């Protein structure tokens, strides 16, 4: 589905329904509130009269439209925005044991996480990355500070 613009600059997408009817999803020019038009562009007399103005969409077709509808819910536009990675900088201390060796230290590093998750889920993701990077058994770990660099 390709996003296009009308002569007046409103975004729209054309697609074909199950009956091969050209349909569109378009931002409305309504000035009082955000709205969309969605439906068959030109009713086809081959379709039963009661169905002439209704689209029939398969699950796959709905799946393709959903991101555009979700974008409208969130932003008032039908253009799907690319998710940006959030970059965090953090300090952590870790105590690990490898046989008889015990050590601890503090490290500062940053990471990019493609997520809108809440703080605890971001922490879990960072802790899991630290464990994977160190490749040793972690006895204890704490993230001292966590700062979002690009909100």
Start-to-end CA distance of the chain, whole Å, equals: 30
Do residue 61 and residue 94 come from a single domain?
no
- Residue ending a domain, choose from 51, 75, 99: 75
| Residue 58 counted as domain residue | yes
Contact at 8 Å (CB) between 68 and 25?
yes
Do residue 18 and residue 52 come from a single domain?
yes
CATH assignment at residue 115: 3.10.20
pLDDT of residue 80: 87
List the pLDDT tens digit at each of the 151 positions of the chain. Answer: 788 999 999 999 999 999 888 999 999 999 899 999 999 988 665 555 555 678 889 999 999 999 999 999 989 999 987 766 666 677 777 666 654 344 444 455 555 555 555 666 666 777 777 777 767 666 776 766 767 666 5
| Residue 26 counted as domain residue | yes
Q: Structural domain of residue 49, as residue ranges?
A: 3-75
pLDDT of residue 99: 44
Tokens representing 113? 């996480």
Do residue 68 and residue 9 come from a single domain?
yes
Number of domains in the chain: 2
Do residue 93 and residue 112 come from a single domain?
yes
DSSP 80: P
| Residue 127 counted as domain residue | yes
Do residue 95 and residue 67 come from a single domain?
no
| Residue 18 counted as domain residue | yes
By three-state DSSP, how is residue 87 classified? Answer: strand
């Amino acid at each position: 589905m390709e996003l296009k613009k009308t002569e007046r600059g409103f975004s729209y997408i054309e697609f074909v329904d199950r009956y091969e009817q050209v349909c569109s999803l378009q931002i409305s020019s309504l000035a009082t509130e955000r709205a969309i038009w969605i439906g068959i562009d030109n009713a086809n007399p081959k379709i039963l009269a009661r169905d002439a103005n209704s689209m029939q969409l398969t699950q796959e077709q709905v799946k393709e439209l959903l991101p555009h509808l979700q974008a409208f819910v969130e932003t008032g536009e039908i253009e799907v925005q690319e998710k940006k990675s959030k970059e965090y900088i953090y300090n952590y201390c870790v105590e690990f044991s490898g046989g008889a060796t015990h050590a601890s230290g503090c490290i500062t590093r940053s990471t990019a996480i493609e997520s809108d998750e809440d703080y605890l889920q971001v922490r879990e993701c960072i802790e899991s990355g630290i464990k994977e990077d160190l490749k040793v058994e972690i006895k204890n770990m704490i993230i001292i500070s966590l700062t979002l660099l690009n909100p």
